[in-house]
Amino acid sequence: MSKILIVDDEVGIRELLSEILRDEGHDVLLAENAGAARKIRNELCPDLVLLDIWMPDSDGISLLKEWSANGQLKMPVIMMSGHGTIDSAVEATRIGALDFLEKPIALQKLLAAVKRGLAHRAMPATPRHPTLAALTRSLALRDLRRRLNQLTEGSRSLLLKVGPGSLAELAARSVPSASGAWFDLSASLDPLDGERLGAVNGGTVFVPELSRLNRHQRVNLGFLFDRLERYNLHLVVATEGSREDFLSEGWDLGLVDRLFDTTLPLPGLPEIKDDIPELAGLILQQLIESGEVPMRRFSSGVLNMLRTHTWPGGYPELRATVKSLAMASLDQEIGTDDASALLSETQSADNGNPLSLDLPLREAREEFERLYFRHHLRLEGGNMTRLAEKTGVERTHLYRKLKQLGLHGNRKSED
């Protein structure tokens, strides 16, 4: 039995389609607006969606874009409209809709479209990261998304001014791109060439902290700047530093001027703490759908703990924490006991957990290393490439060191 979600603000349409599809043996779910559809889609994972274009709270095209941008378009979507136009049909199919039905919908057309949709429901399971498109309840994040779109429409490069609790990665992943390809320039030590840029054509190149780039990576950055247009790329770099800081460190004046030409200050997680529960839930849903963690949900107590945490490591730390909680929880609901140990451990590290000077030198050194690497693992979201660069430890040796200290990096977080 297939689960089919019908999204339409007209109760008569919902009832009519529901009756037809139930007679065909399907399990039918009903939503009167985009908000209800979003909730049902996240909780019940329908096999197919019949989505009306014109609705009072948010139109169907916008909801389709949201699902597509966040990697949530795992099910076929068939658009419906009583005011259908060729432009609407083209736009919907370009975003990812499988079909378009114009009201009044003929019975045979409906059944044929549903049959095609269910036959097509195996979607590619490409892991995707959340973007600002799904965070629709927050005025601050909606405004941030609009500013990102406006700035990147006029410029291929954007510098994000960040502070503690940076949202840089979330913002960068929200920049519209033609292909959705993603390339972290700071994770690459090899010289850039046209072949490498061609592989991410139409995508986004990201630098999580500009000041960490070594001399060779700065050369790569200059090479990239001259080819952004050719390869239809957007460059998004983040930094806590100022233009003067980079010039005093010997950076090329021309490169610095180009980098700081278009800038946008970002809020940190502490400034949007009331939106953290929604963001954490979205991250968890993405991890579940990409198969990285088992089916889990947060208790209200845990969501409040996440909301009040300080998050000095920003979005990467939040994502790594959500993943760790989901993987470690023994129950489907992640409870406060699961979260308190992990969050209190990171909080104590932030508060400067003192080392005992009464320990033998070898034990004191080992305890310092454990605190040191745990701190930087959290700040880098478990990314081993960035951790190796930050700490100056060769990666093979770094894996051995972490194992020796009883810590675990994320070998999959290399991008």
Q: Which domain does 370 fall in, by range?
A: 354-415
* 100 falls within a domain: yes
CATH code of 235's domain: 3.40.50.300
- Structurally, the chain folds into a number of domains equal to 4
Same domain, 249 and 304: no
CB atoms within 10 A of CB 99: 20
- Joined together, the tokens standing for residue 324 give 């760790």
Residue 332 to residue 299: CA distance in whole angstroms: 10
Residue 127, domain member (yes or no): no
State the helix-helix crossing angle for 314-328 and 276-289, rounded to 10 degrees: 60
Query: Do 154 and 245 share a structural domain?
Result: yes
Domain CATH number, residue 401: 1.10.10.60
Q: How does pLDDT run across 171-206, given as a tens digit for each residue?
A: 999 998 888 889 999 888 789 999 889 989 999 999
Beta bridge partners of 79: 51, 100
Q: Are residues 146 and 253 in the same domain?
A: yes
d(Cα 82, Cα 354) in Å, to the nearest integer?
67
Going 266 to 38 to 128 to 220, the CA torsion angle's sign is negative
Looking at 299, 318, 345, which one is the last position of a domain? 345
In a domain, 159, yes or no: yes
**Cα–Cα dist 122/336, whole Å:** 36
Of 345, 368, 402, the last residue of a domain is: 345
> In terms of domains, do 235 and 142 share one?
yes
Among residues of the chain, what percentage have pLDDT more than 70? 89
Q: What is the pLDDT of residue 70?
A: 65
Q: Are residues 85 and 13 in the same domain?
A: yes
Residues 153, 98, single domain; the answer is: no
Rg (CA), the chain: 24
Residue 187 lies in a domain: yes
Return the H-helix or E-strand segment holding 182. Answer: strand 182-184
* Per-residue pLDDT at 414 exceeds 50: no
The pLDDT tens digits for 390-412 are 787 877 778 778 877 777 655 44
Beta partners for residue 4, in sequence order: 28, 48
State in Å, rounded, how far the first CA of the chain is from the last one.
39
Q: Do 282 and 261 fall within a single domain?
A: no
Q: Are residues 188 and 287 in the same domain?
A: no
Reported as half-sphere exposure (CB side, CA atoms, 13 A), residue 392 has a value of 0
Q: Decide: 14 and 32 in contact? Cβ < 8 Å.
A: yes
**Quick one: pLDDT at residue 144?**
94
pTM higher than 0.75: no
CA separation for the pair 171, 316 (Å, rounded): 12
Q: What is the pLDDT of residues 266-323, one digit of tens each?
A: 998 988 999 999 999 989 988 887 778 888 999 999 999 999 998 888 888 898 889 8
CATH at residue 39 = 3.40.50.2300
CATH number for 313: 1.10.8.60
59 pLDDT above the threshold of 50:
yes
Question: Do residues 46 and 166 both lie within one domain?
Answer: no
Task: Tell me the β-bridge partners of 80.
Answer: 52, 101
Q: Do residue 83 and residue 176 come from a single domain?
A: no
Distance CA 268, CA 160 (A): 12
Higher pLDDT pick, 137 / 70: 137
| Beta pairing class for 3-7 and 27-31 | parallel
Of 345, 376, 391, the one marking the end of a domain is: 345
> 163 in a domain, yes or no?
yes
Query: Is 32 contained in some domain?
Result: yes
**One-letter identity of residue 17:** L
Identify which of 17, 23, 70, 76 has the alpha carbon closest to the alpha carbon of residue 49.
Answer: 76
Three-state SS at 156: coil
* Residues 140/275, Cβ–Cβ less than 8 Å: yes
- Please tell me which residue, 91 or 228, carries the higher pLDDT value: 228
Q: What is the pLDDT of residue 136?
A: 78
